[in-house]
Every structure is written in structure tokens, then in C-alpha cells.
Amino acid sequence: MNWNTFTSQFVSNLSLMLARSPGWFQQLLRKFVFLLAYYLISYRKKVVDQNLELAFPAWSAVKRKHTRKLFYQHLSETLLEINAIRNLSREAYRQKIHYENIEVLQNLLKEGKSVIIAYAHYGNWEYTTSLPLWIDEPVYAVYRTLSNPIADSVIFETRSRFGAIPVPMQHIYKELSMAQVAGKNHVALFVADQSPPRSQIKAWFPFFSQPTAFFQGVERISRKLGHAVVYLEMSKKPSGQYRGRFELITDNPKTCLPNEISLRYVRLLEQTIQKEPARWLWSHRRWKHKPDGSILLTSSAHD
């Protein structure tokens, strides 16, 4: 056994042991993770502060600081929730999230339409891998391959545990095209709120009054393949259960104007974040790129 294999197995076993630990220990661990991230190492605290100041310039410093603290508490809970997926039964996993209008998705599939679900690093984004427990069609989970092979293998195992099919971003179009040629309806999950490299920026979108770049794979692929596009909002109840709600962006993307699908997604995402700001992943460098002559789409561009 080489060192990488040993390390991978050790991390996997440790992760599983923590997932199986009793509730009181989980709560203690959550507090420890929060104290470590917030006070001891100040994980990306400057990035969080910069993002909150850009997004909410009218807020007082006290309110932003309070939101920052709530974010780190949520992040600590989310990390443990993601790890706990490895120890959940199918029934326990179904109870972790309730899709209150799953019929939106089911009806599109019954009509013979494949669906792209666009969502974000909001709430617990990994719980979307529960969809294969609710629908019979294949569910492809798009992901960016991690540079750390150990972390990548753990995430891959977690996402595929209940039937989702993880596919690297660079291969997803080919995978969905093959499924379409084979006549198989399917669902593809896209976490669409990350910042692309500058070389891939084709347009800027108004997001919290900031010109913001987004990956546009959802738009490009839905147009080429004719997939319906649905937005998924995840919210967390006081009980700890998550609520998923679908909203149709378009069931006929080929009739949409250029960038219209992306613009609708950006609007819905901002509305979601405004409801409970601390639930979004503020530690991402969301506004690291600035416009350099590209066209800025305004909120009235397609009204």
C-alpha cells in the first residue's frame, strides 16, 4: 500500500468514525470547528468581510459582524452535515430534506424533458444528491475536480452514495449528449454561483449591485440540448431539516434571448440570499474580477 492510498483510507475511516459518533459529540465538534475557523485561524475572514461590505454597503458594521458570525456557525454545521451523509440510511437521508414541490421536476420529466437544476452554495448544497431517492431518472452531479486527490475521493464517495452520478465539469456536456442520443431523460445538478477564470468571462451580471461574472455552462448546455432549466432554493428549518423548492426558469431554452437564462438565475439567487444572508458561502472570492470593457447586462435587459 502506497502513502496516498494509506492516507486516503485513513481520512475516509476517520470521517466515517466522526459521522457515527453520538449526538453530544457532534455538537461539541461543531463548536470546536466554529471556534477553530472563526477565532483561531480566522478562515478567510477578510474575504468574508469584503464580500459582506460589497453586498450590503448600507448595513452597519455591527450588523455585518453579526452576519459574519452566523455564517461561520452555519459553515461549521454544514461541514458536519456533509460528513454525516456517509453514515445515513436511505430513509434517514430522505428525512433530512423535503422537496415541497417535487412535482415541478416530475412533471417536466413526464413530458419527456430532461432538466438542468441550477442551485448555489446556499444552505447545504450537498443534500441535492438525495434526488435519486425521489425520482427514477439518472441524476448527474457536476463538480470541479479537487486538486487534493484525498479530498476529491471523499467528496466523490459522498455524492455518489445514493445514486447520483458525479461528472467532472469538463466532461458533462459529452455525458449529457450521450444520454440524450440514447433517448434517456435525465437530471443534471449544476452549482452555478462560482466565479469563472477571467479567460472564460463572456458577460457581466448585476448581483448585489456589483458587476459579477458567473459560469454560463447552464445556459450554453441547455440551449444546445434543449433541456428545461429549474432553479432550486434550499432553506433550513429550525428543526435542522432542509426545504427544497423548485422554480421553473424555462422549459424551452432555445426561445430565450442570449444570457436570459443566466440573468434569471442570478436574480433568483440574490432573492434567496437576501432572505437569510448567513446561509450563503461568503468565503468564496465572489468579486475577484472586475469589468474590463465587456458588456454589463442590466436588470432591464430582457424585461
Q: Give the pLDDT of residue 294.
A: 58
Give the pLDDT score at 301.
44
Determine, yes or no, domain membership for 180.
Answer: yes
- Has residue 299 been placed in a domain? no
In this prediction, residue 6 carries a pLDDT of 45
- What pLDDT does 191 receive? 95
As a whole number of angstroms, the distance between CA 35 and CA 27 comes to 12
| Residue 63: CA count within 13 A, CB half-sphere | 9
Q: Which parts of the chain register pLDDT below 50?
A: 1-3, 6-8, 10, 301-303
In the prediction, which pLDDT does 295 show?
64
Residue 33 lies in a domain: yes
Look at strands 228-236 and 115-119 and give their pairing: parallel
Residue 226 domain-assigned (yes or no):
yes
52 occurs within a structural domain:
yes
Position 295 in a domain: no
Indicate whether 286 belongs to any domain.
no
Unique residue bearing C-alpha cell 433568483: 268
Q: With CA atoms as reference, report the closest residue to 282 among 77, 60, 53, 32.
A: 53
The answer as to whether 237 is a domain residue is: yes
For 155, the grid coordinates are 467528496
Instruction: Determine the pLDDT at residue 299.
Output: 59
Contacts 24+ apart (CB under 8 A), 148-152: 149/4, 149/8, 150/4, 150/7, 150/8, 150/11
- Looking at residue 9, its amino acid is Q
Number of domains, the chain? 1
User: Which residues span the domain enclosing 27?
Assistant: 3-279
What is the reported pLDDT for 303?
A: 45
